[in-house]
Amino acid sequence: MKNGFILIMLLLMAGLAYADPVDDVVRMSQELGLVSKYQLSDIAPSISVRPAFHEMDIEKKRAISMAFLVHAQRQRPDSGYQFVMIKDSRNNNTVGNYDERLGLTLKRAYR
């Protein structure tokens, strides 16, 4: 029994050592309530962001947006996704987008 417990602990630690940072950012953004909805479509993925996202600095917004784009590209490798649309969860208005060529573009400051 003790050897089984040790094996399980080693497997868990190995899994943590090889955790994917993109998947971690996507998961944590949803768990922390920064992103309330994530959808894939034929043209581009979209994320609905909550008020806490709007309060973050630009670098964190960029990192989250980039992670969702990479995550979507991995889920649908043949889709040709090049950008992710960012929408406000309260009214579904477009907040901006993250394009892998142009970076993060926000339409206006939301609060």
Q: State the pTM of this model.
A: 0.80
Domain boundaries, the chain: 20-106
For residue range 24-57, what is the model confidence (pLDDT) as tens digits? 899 999 999 999 999 999 999 999 999 999 999 8
Beginning with the edge strand found earlier in the chain, give each strand of the sheet holding 94-99 in spatial order.
35-39, 46-49, 83-88, 94-99, 103-106
SS3 assignment, position 109 = coil
- Quote the tokens at residue 92: 């579904």
- Cα-Cα-Cα-Cα torsion 42, 98, 88, 32, nearest 10 degrees, comes to 100
Determine the pLDDT at residue 1: 43
Determine the pLDDT at residue 21: 87
For residue 15, pLDDT beyond 90? no
- Quote the tokens at residue 73: 């590209």
Q: pLDDT tier at 19 (50, 70, 90 boundaries)?
A: low
Task: List all residues 6 or more positions away from 48 whose beta carbon is below 8 Å from its beta carbon.
Answer: 35, 36, 37, 38, 87, 88, 89, 92
* Residue 6 burial class via C-beta count within 10 angstroms: exposed 0-12, middle 13-18, buried 19 and up: exposed
For residue range 65-109, what is the model confidence (pLDDT) as tens digits? 999 999 999 999 999 999 999 999 999 999 999 998 999 999 876
For residue 9, pLDDT beyond 60? no
